[in-house]
């Protein structure tokens, strides 16, 4: 399960809306407890994909910085997020081909419907498994 603490949901949704027509992407930092993770901060990162309107690729320099900053503050990276500005509320074939972090959660925001869809998956190394996502106040 992935819990989004405080304003994380609002931050991710705002980022997705601001980056239209590009896919927004970022890194979720927080804590884990067994099979559950709580994201306490959403770090926006630059999408360096060749076709950013239909794909995302996290800037590796920014990714390293977020991992180091999280560790410095006794937190950990619990997952990643990206948006589908007009695409489906499901992980795409490209998302499956480029997923690289088994055991991490991937949060997806689809702006194609009203209200926007937000879902979470765990990357197993072979495929995505759907996870529950909750928003905490």
Q: Which of 23, 57, 68, 129 is catalytic?
A: 23
Burial of 58 (0-12, 13-18, 19+ CB in 10 A): buried
Q: Are 39 and 103 in contact (CB under 8 A)?
A: no
In sequence order, what are the beta bridge partners of 36?
33
- The pairing of strands 36-45 and 105-110 is unpaired
Alpha helices in 3-52 (DSSP H): 8-18
Strands (E), 1-137: 2-4, 25-33, 36-45, 76-84, 105-110, 117-123, 128-131, 133-135
Question: Would you call 57 a catalytic residue per the annotation?
Answer: no
* Number of neighbours of residue 134 by Cβ within 10 angstroms: 13
Catalytic residues: 23
């Amino acid at each position: 399960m992935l819990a989004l603490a405080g304003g994380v949901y609002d931050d991710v949704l705002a980022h997705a809306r601001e980056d239209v027509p590009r896919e927004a992407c970022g890194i979720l930092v927080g804590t884990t407890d067994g099979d559950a993770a709580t994201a306490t901060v959403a770090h926006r990162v630059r999408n360096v994909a060749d076709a950013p309107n239909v794909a995302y690729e996290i800037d590796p320099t920014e990714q390293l910085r977020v991992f180091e900053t999280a560790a410095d503050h006794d937190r950990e990276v619990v997952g990643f997020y990206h948006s589908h500005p007009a695409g489906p509320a499901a992980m795409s074939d490209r998302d499956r081909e480029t997923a690289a972090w088994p055991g991490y959660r991937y949060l997806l925001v689809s702006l194609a419907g009203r209200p926007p869809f937000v879902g979470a998956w765990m990357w197993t190394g072979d495929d995505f498994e759907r996870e529950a996502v909750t928003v905490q106040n």
